[in-house]
Structure 1
Amino acid sequence: MSDQTPLIIAGDGETTAQITALRVTSLDVFRGISIFLMIFVDYAGSSLPSVTHAPWKGLHLADFVMPFFLFIAGVSLTLTNKRVTTKTQATYKAILRTIKLFLLGIFLQGGYFNGINSLTYGVDIEKIRWMGILQRISIAYIIGALCEIWSSNFSPSDLTNGYFRKYYLQWFTVMSLSCIYTSLLYGMYVPDWEYTTDQASLFPVIDHDISIIVNCSVRGDLGPACNSAGMIDRYFLGIEHLYRKPSYQNLKECSTLENETFKDQPVWCQAPFDPEGILSSLMASVTCLIGLHFGHVLIQLENHKGRLHHWLLFSMSLLVLGLLFSSAGIPIIKSLYTVSYMLVTTASAGIIFCTLYFLVDVLCYKSLFFVFEFIGRHALSIFVLIASNILVILIQGFYWKTPDNNIIHWIVSFVTR
């Protein structure tokens, strides 16, 4: 995000054909659009099912937000605003920035801040959520940063052997993460497991927590209950520290209609699951690494036509490959960040970036996007204000006659009509 300063360093002994600092306006605009999209899906998703996250398989508008942020982070990593003298110093700064971002994510999404309609605050340490949006971005960031730092001992004009051979560490990491992810997702045995629920409204005759056993004993299952991603998170993070309202609770079989009870649902419907978990974050990091490639093209090629041609061809190749994988039986699942999901959403990010680059940086229609540019330049600050509900609460503080008659209510009502 723009509140961070991305790094690129010259190789040891490189006097540089000099790696110039770039400020790509279209990247700020793209970041601002992603922030706006995040706000929109958060407040309109409850009324527009096609906007909120897909319950499990499939792709809705909200499912593009995270890949967009990761892609932008990757592109940003290749752009520099300051010089770094040594790779060790650059690594130290990247690690420090990662820790700060991860801790900020825990503070914002760990459970400390409550809902808009609640004035209470605080978090039960036994149930704090360890993973989240900023935590995932921080993981992808450090992986991308290390690849960029330790691959940056080539002159910018040295493209004799091509991008893939020049940045071999980056592409080796892409292949390694993909292989590890796929092996664990399909190869790990998932035993039966249990969780406790305090859903008193679902059990009106019971006034205490109960344990529910989920029967699995399978390998390679990609459903909500028995996938290996959930098992890894339960083992390493603890089931009490996972997200309590996963999107699969919106599945038809998990809905609670009139005259229906909990016993009519699958037993796993009320179980916690973290969509930003450990295993899925490995594949999410690949999106950031592909963003690095777009940034390398931006730096290495000096003409707009060459950049756009390369980006579009690469993006369309990813899109076709993702659709082929989906047709071949690898479903698009955001909560697992499946390979097909990664390819399709990363391709979409690349195509949108190409479009914005052409409009903003080539045709210079910057004034049309100045609002998004401003948001993009202050993305992290705005994200903090939104995630903590501070901005929303401040805006809702101004109303007409009744508290419900405020700007937030008007906007939500307008987009959901």
Structure 2
Amino acid sequence: MDQALLTFHNQLTEEVQVFYTSDYCYKCVYQPLVSLKPNNKNASAQISTKFTLTIQVESQTRNKTLCRWDQTYMEGGHYSIWIMPVAFNNPICNLYVDKRPNNPHLPLLVAALLMALTALLFVMVPYIYRKRCTLTFIKTICCRGEKYSVDNEDAHARETAHGTGEAKPSRLLSLDTFRGFSLTVMVFVNYGGGGYWFFQHAPWNGLTVADLVMPWFVFIIGTSVVLAFNSMQRRGVGRLQLLRKITWRTVVLVMLGFCFLNYSPRDGPLSWSWLRIPGVLQRLGFTYFVLSLLQTFWGQKEIPLRVHHWWNPVQDVFLYWPQWLIIILLEILWLCITFLMPIPNCPTGYLGPGGIGDDGLYPDCTGGAAGYIDQWIFGDNMYRYPTCKEMYHTVQPFDPEGVLGTINSIVMGFLGMQAGKIIIFYKKKNVHILCRYLVWAIILGISAAILSKCTRDGGFIPVNKNLWSLSYVVCMGCFSFLLLGGMYFVIDIKGWWGGQPFIYPGMNSIFVYVGHSLLGFYFPFSWEMRFQASHWEFLLQSLWGTALWVLIAYLLYRKKFFLKI
């Protein structure tokens, strides 16, 4: 899978060597592929078909490059390259296809069509059924739906208060759907995403589908914190009680992440042979802790009404100036450490992967300041197989959930808090909410374009998920505002969609995340694959495991079981 066979035929009277590099590998040193003896000798090699490769044939006797070409090879193809002499002793390299390759995207296309057909059926069948409910009493029985407000506090907020007859505030449906959509994509990519490279994390700089999920979760945490704390503060919940709640949730998230991250069936609950400290839930827990403190100490219990004040159009920003000051100071700290901190044997401000990248000049400088700080704090108790290891041949461990990136995780969550403040300040003014979401998306999108220069590797600060770079945060903030705004319009304003099926895992996100992390690679969620030469079975397994967790979340929703922390 994702491999092709290259056979080189040397018809020269001298020995040649073949080297290669990937176009995705930034300024990488050419790596040896095969060595060919003279006079009709041949050699074969398997190559990756994920990215375009540059292949270079060099003469050992002349110390000269004979030919070089760029080519994207297809999965399962067999190719022959004939190195032949021509006039004036200038060799040429001709490429021939011996076996036609497979179409690696055919399974993905079939799966997309089947899911589109299924979604259409789920939309059309209820629509046709509702059209039949013409009489009032039939509408009351068949077409009654729940109303959702904007207070995203807990899963049971839809119940009516006993003995008072007053309905408790309920959840923002679009936010639950956004959370469930993010979680569903996360489960799919954690199951391998069908083996497609664009459903896996980028080797270093750049964005893939897998790189979108974590920032969405952080953004949603920020929005939920504002909505939930605003509701609790209006109900008179004291600051001390809020601090207890914050501390308990943070400790539980961190411990869950620590235990399940280091779980090993062979070594027991904790794998002492390799104890990784940073992790996804640990970062989410710490980010939640900081954002909650911001909202607890510097949040607004009541919205002041100043009819003719100059800051009315931006009161959701100016009234929270202490929070903004803290976030700006945190970002300045990130910039200073990243670009000004001296690192032994590495250039100051280095953001590369090390290894064979950057012409092989900084092989042990993976991640620059971020990697150096993590090694100083955690030693070898970090992630030992970073996404850059395969392509850049790095040898240093690097953790994408490290200390320095957590600063920008807090900044990302604060952007989500801004989305929640907009909903509170402009409640029942849907046009204002959507317009402000659009304005924030435009500002953040332009900022990302400037910082990255609209390139993958050549910007001031490249978009990089491993480092949680500033350009990555503002880029993902742009996507988050657009996606949440779109869902808010379709679900909460127009009511065209109820959020199914994503709303179900969105309301039980902790259960689904922990469950798929703990049991995801056991039957019936996965099995030992027999056909590994193509994406068909791999994609089926990824979709099957994801669908099972969505089904489990739906059954728990029907049973009104919601795992809360």
Tell me if both proteins adopt one fold, taking TM over 0.5 as the criterion.
Answer: yes
Q: In the alignment, which of 33, 50, 53 is matched to residue 198 of structure 2?
A: 50
Change (3 A) 1:49 1:391: closer
Provide the residue aligned with 1:89 in structure 2: 241
**Aligned mates of 1:374, 1:414 — CA distance in 2:** 17
Q: In the alignment, which of 364, 381, 397 is matched to residue 272 of structure 1?
A: 397
| 8 Å contact from structure 1 (residues 3, 377) kept in 2 | no
Deviation at 1:404, TM superposition (A): 5.7
Provide the residue aligned with 2:503 in structure 1: 373
**Aligned mates of 2:320, 2:286 — CA distance in 1:** 20
Provide the residue aligned with 1:249 in structure 2: 389
| 8 Å contact from structure 1 (residues 396, 403) kept in 2 | no
What is the TM-score normalised by the length of structure 1?
0.78
**Aligned partner letter, 2:225:** L
Deviations 1:318-373 (A, max 9, x none): 01111111115211111111100110011101111111111111111234x32100
Does structure 1 residue 235 correspond to structure 2 residue 386? no
Deviation at 1:102, TM superposition (A): 0.8
Q: In the alignment, which of 181, 184, 187 is matched to residue 33 of structure 1?
A: 181
Provide the residue aligned with 1:311 in structure 2: 437
**Aligned partner letter, 1:112:** Y
Deviation at 1:58, TM superposition (A): 0.7
**Aligned partner letter, 1:66:** M
Deviation at 1:414, TM superposition (A): 7.4
Does structure 1 residue 165 correspond to structure 2 residue 318? yes
Deviations 1:240-286 (A, max 9, x none): 210011111132x42xxxxxxxxxxxxxx132110000001101110
**Aligned mates of 2:217, 2:525 — CA distance in 1:** 27
**Aligned mates of 2:243, 2:447 — CA distance in 1:** 34
**Aligned partner letter, 2:350:** D
**Aligned partner letter, 1:361:** D
The higher radius of gyration belongs to 2
**Aligned mates of 1:31, 1:113 — CA distance in 2:** 28
Which one scores higher on RCO, CA 8 angstroms, separation ≥ 6? Answer: 1
Does structure 1 residue 145 correspond to structure 2 residue 280? no
Identity %: 27
**Aligned mates of 1:277, 1:31 — CA distance in 2:** 23
Does structure 1 residue 301 correspond to structure 2 residue 452? no
Provide the residue aligned with 1:342 in structure 2: 473
Q: In the alignment, which of 396, 407, 429 is matched to residue 282 of structure 1?
A: 407
Task: Please identify, of 152-161 and 139-148, the stretch whose mean Cα deviation from structure 2 is larger.
Answer: 152-161
Deviation at 1:156, TM superposition (A): 2.1
Structure with the higher fraction of residues in strand conformation: 2
**Aligned mates of 2:482, 2:222 — CA distance in 1:** 15
**Aligned mates of 1:5, 1:350 — CA distance in 2:** 23
Deviations 1:394-416 (A, max 9, x none): 4248x8xx9869x985624779x
**Aligned mates of 1:40, 1:31 — CA distance in 2:** 14
Q: In the alignment, which of 495, 515, 519 is matched to residue 364 of structure 1?
A: 495
Does structure 1 residue 385 correspond to structure 2 residue 493? no
Change (3 A) 1:222 1:352: same
| 8 Å contact from structure 1 (residues 136, 281) kept in 2 | yes
| 8 Å contact from structure 1 (residues 326, 332) kept in 2 | yes
Deviation at 1:122, TM superposition (A): 4.1
| 8 Å contact from structure 1 (residues 185, 220) kept in 2 | yes
**Aligned mates of 1:393, 1:126 — CA distance in 2:** 23
SS at match of 2:299: coil
**Aligned partner letter, 1:94:** I
Deviations 1:274-322 (A, max 9, x none): 0000001101110101100100111110211110011111111101111
**Aligned mates of 1:223, 1:364 — CA distance in 2:** 46
**Aligned mates of 2:275, 2:214 — CA distance in 1:** 22
Deviation at 1:94, TM superposition (A): 0.7
1:47-196 to 2 correspondences below 5 Å:
47-80=195-228, 82=232, 83=235, 85-109=237-261, 111-113=262-264, 121-125=268-272, 127-158=274-305, 160=309, 161=311, 162-191=315-344
SS at match of 2:511: helix
Deviation at 1:175, TM superposition (A): 0.4
| 8 Å contact from structure 2 (residues 259, 269) kept in 1 | no
| 8 Å contact from structure 1 (residues 57, 333) kept in 2 | yes
Task: Please identify, of 72-81 and 136-145, the stretch whose mean Cα deviation from structure 2 is larger.
Answer: 72-81
| 8 Å contact from structure 2 (residues 194, 539) kept in 1 | no
Change (3 A) 1:243 1:3: farther
**Aligned mates of 2:271, 2:284 — CA distance in 1:** 24
Change (3 A) 1:287 1:89: same
| 8 Å contact from structure 1 (residues 229, 278) kept in 2 | yes
Q: CA RMSD in A?
A: 2.7
Deviation at 1:173, TM superposition (A): 2.0
SS at match of 2:201: coil
Deviation at 1:168, TM superposition (A): 1.2
**Aligned mates of 1:187, 1:218 — CA distance in 2:** 10
Change (3 A) 1:414 1:34: closer
Change (3 A) 1:84 1:391: farther
Provide the residue aligned with 2:14 in structure 1: none
| 8 Å contact from structure 2 (residues 382, 399) kept in 1 | yes
What is the TM-score normalised by the length of structure 2?
0.58
Deviation at 1:169, TM superposition (A): 2.1
**Aligned mates of 2:537, 2:173 — CA distance in 1:** 29
Deviations 1:131-180 (A, max 9, x none): 11111111111111011111224522446542222011221122011101
Deviations 1:52-105 (A, max 9, x none): 111111111111111000000000001226545221221222122111111111
Q: Aligned pairs, how many? A: 350
**Aligned mates of 2:192, 2:516 — CA distance in 1:** 15
**Aligned mates of 1:132, 1:337 — CA distance in 2:** 14
**Aligned partner letter, 2:399:** D
Structure with the higher fraction of residues in helix conformation: 1
